[in-house]
Amino acid sequence: MTVSSSDVAAQATWPLLVDACRNARLDPAGAEPVRIADNAIWSIPGNLIVRITRPGRRAAAHRELLTAQWLAEHGIPAVRPALPSAVDLPEDRAATFWEQLPDHTVGRHEDVARLLCLLHQLPAPEHLLALTDPAAKARIRLEAVHHAGVTSDDDMAWLVAYADELAAAWGSLPQGLAPAPLHGDAWAGNVARTHDGHAYLLDLDSAAVGPPEWDLTSTAVKVTTTATIPASEYERYVNAYGGYDVTMYEGFEVMRGIRELRMTTYAIQTAIDHPHTADEARHRVACLRGLKGPRPWIWTAVPHPPGSPGPIV
């Protein structure tokens, strides 16, 4: 393993990578960590990518493979599986193997919109589950970090109550666009743009069936919450999707609140392995609690090391 010994998160997933590769009859020698976050993503020789889930995400990994195969059948540009089956790992984890894309950069927001427009028009496949409580991901993270000391007990109690409030509000959302297949986490960081201008969907493990507005909100928060893209760029995003602006949807505030909460709990979770992000996590909590003034707020990217660029998540 060539990763720095200071990267505790990568070190922790190295034995899982070795186990997964051996089960798939592949050699992990020369593996490089690509991104260690919700999933641990590694590249291995042979132009392959290995994705190792967090505990409890084995079923999602198996569904992700089905989703990728389904997208391929419909000609939607997305990552393609290198192996048809996942390797099951301890703690209800799994590893999946993918073809490595050509050299690429983070996608443009118009790329996201065009891909979503294609995806949302497809008939929903049987393997996709209904999206019934997207705030649940935040609650799971809060349960996992409750005693980590990143935030105060008072902040933690408030976050749990806020997650419950948002979950209840999701259950009574006003009617919007017709339910459709969703990516589930559709932002520019989950789209790859190759040098020849082609764009591909990545990270399919959150795919579900539900309101298309949920996918569209991921980019809308970049305007309304963090102001990391200008209004002109957001307008191009709206036009690329077909002219529908999710910020005009009556349930947008609820969806935005859930996205913000998930971004905040991600920062809290990340601070356990990357302590330099703890201040950012606490800042985000203060924003949600109304202690940093009105939106938009200034949020710093995590889990990138100090001084390194990266999209805000």
Give pLDDT tens digits for 33-44. Answer: 998 888 999 999
Q: Determine contact, residues 10/28, Cβ cutoff 8 Å.
A: no
Q: CA-based Rg of the chain, rounded to a whole angstrom? A: 19
Percent of the chain with pLDDT over 70: 94
C-alpha distances in angstroms, 213 versus 230, 261, 273?
A: 20, 17, 32
DSSP state of 228: -
Banded model confidence at residue 302, pLDDT cuts 50, 70, 90: confident
pLDDT given for residue 2 in this prediction: 47
Report the C-alpha gap between 122 and 71 in whole angstroms.
9
In terms of average pLDDT, the best of 10-19, 34-43, 291-300 is 291-300
What b/e string do you get for 166-178 counting C-beta neighbours within 10 Å, with b at 16 or more? bbebbeebeebee
Query: What's the distance, CA 173 to chain centroid?
Result: 22
268 has pLDDT over 80: yes
Report the C-alpha gap between 131 and 214 in whole angstroms.
10
Q: For residue range 207-244, list pLDDT tens digits in order.
A: 999 999 999 999 999 999 999 999 999 999 999 999 99
Place of tokens 């209004």: 231
Structural domains in the chain plus CATH codes: 8-100 (3.30.200.20), 109-288 (3.90.1200.10)
Place of tokens 């496949």: 125
Q: Determine contact, residues 194/101, Cβ cutoff 8 Å.
A: yes
Place of tokens 């051996």: 22
pLDDT given for residue 304 in this prediction: 57
pLDDT given for residue 7 in this prediction: 66
In sequence order, the 6+-apart residues with CB closer than 8 A to the CB of 20 are 50, 52, 87, 89, 95
